Amino acid sequence: MAGIFWWVIFPYIALTIMILGLLYRFTFRQLTWAAPSTNFLEKKWLRIGSPLFHYGIIFAFIGHVMGMVIPMEFYQGIGISDHLYHIGAMWGGGIAGLMVVVGLVILLIRKITIDPVRIKATFADFFSVLALLFVAGTGTYMSIIYNTTVVAYEYRATIGPWFRSLFVFMPKYELMIGIPWILKIHVASAFAFFATIPFTRLVHIFSFPIRYPARSPQQYRSRDNYRGQHN
């Protein structure tokens, strides 16, 4: 029963909150939708912490796509042995994880010690840093320490298929029941964290300006087609 709650009901609730929250905020509260940079208030710490964290989390995201979204059979099909994959995952995931954790710790210290940054930070700002630190910390612990000292756990056979099954609405929750506790915590906390995204500064993830290189440098708009709305 607990299995159904944690690996069926809970993820769907979390993702629903995330999607509806994002849609609501984008539609009605777009004025609050920004990447709330504190570059203006403090520069020295940000220079190290921010790129370290952000590039780390981009690598980590790519790693999760490789582990969760791409099926195990694909790697076997192109001739990457399980051993080779795990070495790659340990190094790649480990480095990315360390980048995220170290970056977050620097950003957290900055948030606490630099006066203007601390005073202007909201509860949500501290919450998202701490929550991310927890999720990233368990993940990094898994990649580096658990993998090498306990067992190189084959999550591509359990968590991967379960994760994909969520998106076809036939969740194979039974796959998740026997997985190591550290991974259960990592996955569950990650979904809980997803649910908070619409309410924090992290909405900026969804507005990475990927179309910038393709658009013309100068932008003209006229009053009557403000934001492209022709009536």
Phi, psi of 216 (to 5 degrees): -75, 145
Q: The tokens of 163 are what? A: 């994760």
Q: Residue 50 interacts with other proteins (CB under 8 A)?
A: yes
Q: Residue 149 interacts with other proteins (CB under 8 A)?
A: no
Q: What count of Cα atoms within 13 Å lies in the side-chain half-sphere of residue 42?
A: 22
Selected from 2, 43, 79, 83, the binder of other proteins by CB under 8 A is: 43
Q: Residue 47 interacts with other proteins (CB under 8 A)?
A: yes
Question: Nearest-CA neighbor of 42 among 92, 99, 107?
Answer: 107
Selected from 6, 13, 15, 36, the binder of other proteins by CB under 8 A is: 36
56 within 8 A of 135, measured Cβ to Cβ: no
Q: How far is CA 125 from the centre of its chain?
A: 15
Selected from 1, 73, 115, 169, the binder of other proteins by CB under 8 A is: 115
Q: Residue 25 interacts with other proteins (CB under 8 A)?
A: no
Q: The tokens of 88 are what? A: 């790659």
Selected from 13, 41, 105, 152, the binder of other proteins by CB under 8 A is: 41
Q: Residue 223 interacts with other proteins (CB under 8 A)?
A: yes
Q: Which of residues 181-220 bind other proteins (CB under 8 A)?
A: 204, 207-210, 212-213, 215, 217-220
Give me the least distance between CB of 169 and other proteins, in Å please.
Answer: 28
Nearer to other proteins, 76 or 113 (CB): 113
The CA distances from residue 135 to 6, 100, 122, 140, 202, in Å, are: 16, 10, 20, 9, 15
Judged by CB under 8 A, how many residues of this single chain contact other proteins?
A: 46
Tell the residue number behind the tokens 């990475």, with chain if given: 208
Cα–Cα dist 85/46, whole Å: 34
Can you give the binding site for other proteins, defined by CB under 8 A? 27-28, 30-31, 33-43, 46-47, 50-51, 53-55, 115-116, 119-120, 204, 207-210, 212-213, 215, 217-224, 226-227, 229, 231
